[in-house]
Amino acid sequence: MNILKLGCLFCFIFFIPNTLFADGSPEIMLINSDTSVDKYRVAQEEFGNSLADKTAPHMIADINLGDKKWELAEVEEFLYDENPDLIYCVGTKAYLVANRYMPRKSIIFSSIVNWLRLPVTRKTYGVSNELYSGMQIMLFRYIFPDVQKIGLLYSKKYTEEWFEKTRTDAKDMGVEVMGQRVFKDRDIVPALNGLLSDINAFWLISDPEVTSEKADLLKILEQCDTKKIPVFSYHEAFVKFGAVLIVSADNRTIGRQAASIATEIVGGGKFDEKVQFPAGSHITLNLRKIKAYDLQYNQDALDSVNVIIE
C-alpha cells in the first residue's frame, strides 16, 4: 500500500467518530405516546432533565402522539425533515411509529408492556417496563416466607413469554408460579377460579387483556378478598382495593436510565444488555390487610418497604 493510500485510510479512520452524526453534535428526538399518562410524562421529564447539562446528545424536538394535531402523515414528514440521530420512544405507540419511519436509526424505548412482542433491530435499546421477575419473587418470599404457590392470569399476546420465563426462574427458587391464560372478550372468573384453590397468593401483573376493564379488576380483587388470598401487584392504586403488596418500577429512574443509554450510544459504549431492567423500585405494604387476613410475615423485612399502610 503506497503512502497516499495509507494516509487516506488513516484520515478516514481518525474522523469516523465525528462523521457518525451530521454536524458532529448528535441530536435526539423524543416521541411520547401520550403525555397525559402520568408514567409517560414523568419518564419524559426525567429524560430531559438528565440530558439538560450534557453537551451531547441534545434534544431537538418532541412529539406528543396524544395531541390530535399529530396525524401519522405529519409525524412522518416531521421525522424526515428533522432526521434525528437517536429517537427516544415512551410507550408502545411511539415505538411503533419510530420503528416504522426510522428503522435504521438508534431507537431507545421505555414504558412498554412486554417489549419482546415488538419488532426490533440491532439498533433497538430500551428499559423494560417490568422489574426483574426473580427479584420480585425473592421479595415475595422474604416478606411472606410461607408463600410457595403464586397464581397469575396472563394473555398470549402480551405476557405469555414473560410467564414462561418467570415460571422457570421461580422453580429455581423453590416457588411454583401457576398461570391461567385469559382470552379477549371472555369472562375471566372461570380462569381465576381455576387458580384460587391451589395458591397462597395471587400476582396481578400488568397485562392489558387482564387489567384493562375495571369490572374485571374488581372481580379479581373481590374473589381474592373473599378467600383471603393476598394480592401482589405493580401499581399503588390497587392498595385501596385491598392489594397486600405493591412492587412498582420507579418511572423517574426509568427516564434517567434511558438518558444514560442515549449518552452511552453517542459515546460508542458497549452494552451487555441492550434492554435493561428498571434500576429502581418502590415497595408498598398493606399491613392493615395482612392483619385482617391473619397472614404470617417477616417483620424484619419492613425496613425494606417504602410505604406501610396501617
Same domain, residue pair 212 and 200: yes
Full residue range of the structural domain in which residue 262 is found: 3-128+253-276
Taking residues 170-179, report their average pLDDT. 94
Query: DSSP per residue over 281-305, as a string?
Result: EEEEEEHHHHHHHT----GGGGGG-
Assess whether 18 and 88 both reside in one domain: yes
What cell numbers appear for 285 in the block? 405494604
The single-letter code of the amino acid at 89 is: C
120 and 167 share a domain?
Answer: no
**Range 148-163 average pLDDT:** 92
CB of 80 within 8 A of CB of 103? no
Tell me how many domains the chain contains.
2
Q: What average pLDDT does the chain have?
A: 87
300 with 167, same domain: the answer is yes
Q: Is 299 found in the same domain as 237?
A: yes
Q: Identify whether residues 24 and 85 lie together within a single domain.
A: yes
State whether 167 and 239 are in the same domain.
Answer: yes
CATH of the domain at 119: 3.40.50.2300
Could you tell me if 162 and 219 lie in one domain?
yes
Q: What angle do CA 210, 107, 29 make, to 5 degrees?
A: 105
Judge residue 242's burial from the number of C-beta atoms within 10 Å of its C-beta, 0-12 exposed, 13-18 middle, 19 or more buried: middle
Is residue 49 domain-shared with residue 118, that is, in the same domain?
yes
13 has pLDDT over 50: no
Same domain, yes or no, for 286 and 215?
Answer: yes
* Residues 257, 170 within the same domain: no
Least confident of 10-19, 80-89, 239-248: 10-19
Nearest to 59 by CA among 36, 35, 25: 25
Asked if 144 and 11 sit in the same domain, the reply is no
The whole-number pLDDT of residue 75 equals 93
**What pLDDT, on the 0 to 100 scale, is given for residue 56?**
53
Q: Which pLDDT score, from 0 to 100, does residue 8 have?
A: 40
pLDDT for 209-240, tens place per residue? 888 788 888 999 999 999 999 999 998 889 98
28-55 pLDDT, tens digit each: 999 999 999 999 999 999 999 998 765 5
